Structure 1
Amino acid sequence: MNVLLVSATHLEIMPLLQRCDWPSGWGPVYSTMIGKHTVDVLLSGPGVVAASYQLGTLLGMRRYDLAVQAGIAGSFRQELAPGKVVHIKQDILADFGSSSPDGFLPAASIGLLESSAYDTSEGHLLETAGISWPESVTAANGITVQQVSGTEADIASMRQHFDPDTESMEGAAFYFACRMHRLPAAQLRSISNLVEPRNKENWNIPLAVAQLDVALQLLFEELL
């Protein structure tokens, strides 16, 4: 199987890269073998612009059987605490829309969506890989933002419009690109922090990275 593994940064998947003898400074695509699978690792850079460009370029040149995005995320749910790993069953571009005197207006509400490009009329993009996830990896609804939710007002707006479980900065762009190329896709996220007024002292990125690596190893064992 030819697998594309996408991460915004090398830090999020560093344990895997170290096992694969990743040469520091190589990028943005590194090819390796994991078990019997050929795996291209794409370090896309943070945000939807970088992810869209890198994925658009790569998927225009190469063909894969499966794409997996792996990274950290913020959690809107107390029960999804730092170190918890989820797979994102649906994602959406949550800050795509317009401001107004009445607050934020999502893109779908003002006619900005090309309906055939999305899986739902609201603009959701769905997991399509059909992976049998272990019980330790639960399903979650994600949102993708370009400005991390770090104020009470932003958090309340996201809850009101999308009722999300997690947020990231690339997930919906990844699902969109894979949908356009008819590529089965899944997104694996490890929680680094609760979504709250910004306080990096409460973040636990090392734990999130370690638990993400455990989940990635389980995933590749499932694919063997």
Structure 2
Amino acid sequence: MKITVLFPTHTEASLFQRDGVHTIISGVGLTATTMATLKAIQSDQPDILILAGIAGVYEHSSLKLFDVALVESEVEADLGFFTTNGFVHMAHLPIAMEFERRHTLHCPHIPVDTPFKRANSLSLNAALAPFVDTGNIDIENMEGAAFFYVCLHENQRFLELRAISNIAKIGDDNWDMTTSVQALTDGLHQLIDSLQAT
């Protein structure tokens, strides 16, 4: 099985090393991830492409710090307009009926019997944005929606794995990169082991 792993940063990739698995540093954010994802699909032609990184968890989620989860869905949460009534997501504007039907992107490749927890995620260009709708959402990151979008349009099998590094709350700056990156690395090896065993 040909596997490629995208990491947003060198820090997230720092502990991972595995023979036969190609790793790429995609860069942070939706734009960099779009380019890196498409290039990885075209150049590597992997059987499965994995986005692996850290994420912030919303306080209402059942996920906890250092949990590792597979992401079921992504929304580009800060795509929209500010009006006199506040922020309106693109999906909720009358002119965006087609977008409304497609703004939540789903991963159809999560194994049924996976031991990993699952998460619904928001992708943000502005982390900790206070104006986005976090209802029924577990985590936030800065790359996932772009990754999902490209993979779905290119018919690429994919998964996104996230380790919780912090509480997604303005003023809470207690990020534990060391522990979360170790959890991410351990989880990624476990995920690849299970993929290669099938």
Q: Normalised by the size of structure 1, how large is the TM-score? A: 0.79
Structure 1 partner of 2:189: 217
8 A Cα contact 2:70 2:110, kept in partner: no
Q: CA offset at residue 81 of structure 1?
A: 2.1
1:51 alignment partner, one of 5, 24, 33: 33
8 A Cα contact 2:72 2:110, kept in partner: no
Secondary structure of the residue that 1:146 maps to in structure 2?
coil
Structure 1 partner of 2:74: 91
Structure 1 partner of 2:63: 80
CA distance in 2, matches of 1:6, 1:85: 16
CA distance in 1, matches of 2:164, 2:110: 22
8 A Cα contact 2:107 2:159, kept in partner: yes
8 A Cα contact 1:82 1:203, kept in partner: no
Which residues of 2 match residues 182-197 of structure 1 at below 5 A? 182-197=155-170
Structure 1 partner of 2:90: 107
Give the 3 Å change call, closer, same or farther, for CA 219–167 of structure 1 in structure 2: same
Q: CA offset at residue 174 of structure 1?
A: 0.5
Aligned residues: 194
2:48 maps to 1:70:
no
Aligned-partner residue type, residue 209 of structure 1: V
8 A Cα contact 1:73 1:166, kept in partner: yes
Give the 3 Å change call, closer, same or farther, for CA 4–191 of structure 1 in structure 2: same
Structure 2 partner of 1:130: 110
Q: CA offset at residue 57 of structure 1?
A: 2.7
8 A Cα contact 1:72 1:209, kept in partner: yes
CA offset digits 1:69-92 (Å, max 9, x no partner): 100000013532211111110001
4+ aligned runs moved over 6 Å, structure 1? none
CA distance in 2, matches of 1:173, 1:54: 10
CA distance in 1, matches of 2:193, 2:97: 38
Secondary structure of the residue that 1:16 maps to in structure 2?
coil
CA distance in 2, matches of 1:205, 1:3: 25
CA offset digits 1:61-115 (Å, max 9, x no partner): 3412111110000001353221111111000100011111111111112234755
CA distance in 2, matches of 1:134, 1:52: 27
8 A Cα contact 2:73 2:107, kept in partner: yes
8 A Cα contact 2:68 2:184, kept in partner: yes
Which residues of 2 match residues 200-215 of structure 1 at below 5 A? 200=173, 202-215=174-187
Q: Normalised by the size of structure 2, how large is the TM-score? A: 0.89
Q: CA offset at residue 164 of structure 1?
A: 1.3
Aligned-partner residue type, residue 54 of structure 2: I
CA offset digits 1:143-178 (Å, max 9, x no partner): 00000116xxx0x6432xx43110000001111110
8 A Cα contact 2:41 2:156, kept in partner: no
User: Which structure 1 residue ranges, 5 or more long, are not aligned?
Assistant: 21-31, 34-38
CA distance in 2, matches of 1:166, 1:139: 10
Structure 1 partner of 2:133: 158
Over aligned residues, Cα RMSD in angstroms? 2.0
Q: CA offset at residue 44 of structure 1?
A: 0.4
2:127 maps to 1:148:
yes
8 A Cα contact 1:113 1:123, kept in partner: no
Indicate the percent of aligned positions where both proteins have the same amino acid.
Answer: 25
CA distance in 2, matches of 1:132, 1:14: 30
